[in-house]
C-alpha cells in the first residue's frame, strides 16, 4: 500500500488523526491477513509493518492494539460472524474479508474511545475496497449493516 516497486515508501503519511487511524487499520488488516496465512501471531507483524511504514508511534500502537484485540477475541468474533453471515462458513471467507470483518467487530465491541460506530463501519468498507475483491465491499457492508441495525 505504501511501497513502490523498489520497496520505497510512497505518498504522504496523513497528519490528521483520522488519516493516521485509517493507516493503522490498514496495517492491522495486513498483519491479520499475514498471520492467517502463516500461522504467526498478528500483533508482532502489525508492529513490524507499522515500523516499516513509518506511521508514527500513536498509529502504530493502535494497529498493534487492533491486531492483539482480534487475536485475543478471535473465537468470540468468529462466533459473532457466524451469526451475522450464517451462509458463509468462516474458513470459506476470503482471508481479507474475514479479517476486515474481525477487525471491525473487534473495534466495535472493544473500542476504548468514542469513535462513532458508523465511522468504524465506513473504515471497514474502505479497507474492503482497498484490499478485497470486487464483491468485498458489498459483502462487508451487508454483514456490518446488520450490526448497526
Instruction: Return d(Cα 108, Cα 72) in angstroms, integer.
Output: 15
If phi over 0 gives left and psi between -120 and 50 gives alpha, with beta otherwise, what is residue 21?
alpha
Number of CB atoms found within 10 A of residue 73's CB: 17
Domains of the chain in sequence order: 17-148 (1.10.940.10)
Q: What is the pTM assigned to this prediction? A: 0.84
Give the pLDDT of the chain (149 residues) as one tens digit per residue: 444 455 444 443 444 454 588 899 999 999 999 999 999 999 899 999 999 988 888 999 999 999 999 999 999 999 999 999 989 899 899 999 999 999 999 999 988 677 899 999 999 999 999 999 999 999 999 999 998 88
Amino acid at each position: 500500500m505504501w511501497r513502490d516497486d523498489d520497496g520505497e515508501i510512497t505518498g504522504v503519511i496523513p497528519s490528521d488523526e483520522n488519516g493516521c487511524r485509517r493507516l493503522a487499520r490498514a496495517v492491522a488488516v495486513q498483519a491479520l491477513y499475514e498471520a492467517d496465512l502463516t500461522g504467526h501471531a498478528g500483533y508482532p507483524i502489525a508492529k513490524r509493518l507499522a515500523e516499516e511504514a513509518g506511521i508514527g508511534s500513536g498509529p502504530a500502537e493502535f494497529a498493534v492494539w487492533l491486531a492483539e484485540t482480534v487475536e485475543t477475541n478471535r473465537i468470540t468474533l468468529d462466533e459473532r460472524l457466524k451469526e451475522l453471515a450464517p451462509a458463509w462458513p468462516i474458513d470459506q471467507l476470503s482471508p481479507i474479508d474475514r479479517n476486515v470483518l474481525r477487525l471491525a467487530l473487534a473495534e466495535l465491541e472493544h473500542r476504548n474511545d468514542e469513535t462513532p460506530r458508523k465511522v468504524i463501519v465506513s473504515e471497514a468498507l474502505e479497507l474492503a475496497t482497498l484490499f478485497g475483491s470486487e464483491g468485498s465491499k458489498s459483502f462487508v457492508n451487508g454483514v456490518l449493516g446488520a450490526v448497526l441495525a
